[in-house]
């Protein structure tokens, strides 16, 4: 009975009315909610993506077109939600979400040739800053960059910090290249120097990888997104990125893109290969076991993975301090996500960490939305 009562308290606290943190008649204080993987776009970006820029594979073009319900006049409600702040605020208010951490929808500037990608990133970040300034208690934001233009990306990371943005999003590969490659080291150095967390977001596998994923819709969120993004993060770990940049912070959505379930396997196989001369395969000595970087450099979010069993597992192996709430709006339903977090069997402290405190600390989101805290 004690466990049921605790769960009821957390559920009631998260379910209370939206906006500021307020005391209810019972004397309890509502737990605020910051959602940390919430996509946005502009009509101009969507039109440019519909034109099929060179950084998108044919499979990605087909998948995203299907998802959005076509182009032009046939564009779906999903596109409207990506571009409409009014629709977003209405959805947030209806479901008790205090704040969205906004980030550009896939593949963003990474679909374009280097100079064009850099221009689009700057434009998006200026627009995002304006949205936040207009609604400072409801939105924070992650800057877009074009890694395919490393010098411009470094400048944009630095400019994003000056704009007051809260981190950077990279939608996995850029023209088939991943962030472990030496050409991207200046970007990682800038992220560390500016203390800007990197949200490593999925997209469809690159042209070199996508072949077997084309059938059955596997190139998208059904499987390919997680497969590509988990590969990206593992490449960064095994390339020694976090040894070179020990203060770099990376966030993975969808409960870590499946990697936490492979911790034992990955650690064991890494030790086994290193003992057998793994350097011949390109492996290098790391300062700690591969999974340990999830306790020092890597955070995960709940986006699109609304399972209490999965949450419990991740809390058990990582601790609540490494997990952030996210919806993945508008690709996932806010009501489903909020029902999930409201009914999670968490202690008061862990519920607060996951619902908003971790996001505040990691992304430097001041208490502007929650003045009572």
Round the CA-based radius of gyration of the chain to a whole number and report it: 20
Q: CA 46 → CA 57, 72, 120, distances in Å?
A: 16, 9, 12
Tell me whether residue 230 is exposed, middle or buried, using C-beta atoms within 10 angstroms of its C-beta: 0 to 12, 13 to 18, 19 or more.
Answer: buried
Q: Is 86 a catalytic residue?
A: no
CA 230 to chain centre: 13
State phi, psi for 140 to the nearest 5 degrees.
-125, 180
- CA pair distance 366, 305, nearest whole angstrom: 27
CA-wise closest residue to 187 among 244, 234, 256, 229: 244
Which of 313, 327, 363 minimizes the C-alpha distance to 142?
Answer: 363
> Rounded CA gap, 373 and 228, in Å?
39
CB atoms within 10 A of CB 113: 14
Structure-token pair, residue 280: 């011949």
Q: To the nearest 10°, the Cα dihedral for 251, 174, 126, 185?
A: 70
Cβ(169)–Cβ(103) under 8 Å?
yes
CA atoms within 13 A on the CB side of 341: 36
CA distances from 18 to 22, 84, 204, 310 (A): 9, 20, 35, 27
> What's the sign of the alpha-carbon dihedral 161, 163, 165, 167?
negative
How many CB atoms sit inside 10 A of residue 109's CB?
33
- Annotated catalytic residue, options 91, 98, 180, 328: 328
- Residue holding tokens 């450099």? 297
- The residues assigned a catalytic role are 328
């Amino acid at each position: 009975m004690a466990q049921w009562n605790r769960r009821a308290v957390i559920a009631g606290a998260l379910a209370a009315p939206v906006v500021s943190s307020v005391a209810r008649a019972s004397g309890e204080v509502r737990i605020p909610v910051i959602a940390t993987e919430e996509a946005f776009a502009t009509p101009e970006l969507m039109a440019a993506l519909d034109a099929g820029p060179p950084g998108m594979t044919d499979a990605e073009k087909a998948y995203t077109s299907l998802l959005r319900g076509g182009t032009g006049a046939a564009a779906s409600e999903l596109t409207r939600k990506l571009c409409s702040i009014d629709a977003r605020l209405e959805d947030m208010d209806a479901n008790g979400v205090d704040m969205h951490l906004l980030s550009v929808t896939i593949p963003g500037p990474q679909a374009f040739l280097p100079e064009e990608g850099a221009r689009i990133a700057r434009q998006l970040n200026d627009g995002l800053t304006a949205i936040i300034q207009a609604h400072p208690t409801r939105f924070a934001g992650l800057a877009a960059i074009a890694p395919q233009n490393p010098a411009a990306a470094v400048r944009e990371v630095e400019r994003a910090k000056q704009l007051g943005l809260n981190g950077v999003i990279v939608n996995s590969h850029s023209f088939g290249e991943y962030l472990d490659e030496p050409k991207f080291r200046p970007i990682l150095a800038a992220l560390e120097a500016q203390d800007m967390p990197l949200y490593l977001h999925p997209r469809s596998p690159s042209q070199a990888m996508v072949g077997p994923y084309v059938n059955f819709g596997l190139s998208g969120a059904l499987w390919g997104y997680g497969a590509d993004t988990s590969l990206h993060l593992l490449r960064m770990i095994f390339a020694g990125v976090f040894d070179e940049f020990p203060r770099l912070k990376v966030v993975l959505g969808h409960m870590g893109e499946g990697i936490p379930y492979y911790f034992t396997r990955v650690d064991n196989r890494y030790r086994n290969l290193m003992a057998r001369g793994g350097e011949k395969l390109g492996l290098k000595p790391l300062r700690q076991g591969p999974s340990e970087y999830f306790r020092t450099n890597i955070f995960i979010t709940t986006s699109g993975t609304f399972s209490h069993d999965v949450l419990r597992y991740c809390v058990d192996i990582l601790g609540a301090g490494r997990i952030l709430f996210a919806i993945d709006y508008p690709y996932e339903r806010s009501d489903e996500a909020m029902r999930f977090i409201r009914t999670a069997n968490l202690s008061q402290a862990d519920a607060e960490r996951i619902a908003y405190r971790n996001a505040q600390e990691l992304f430097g989101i001041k208490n502007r939305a929650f003045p009572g805290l």
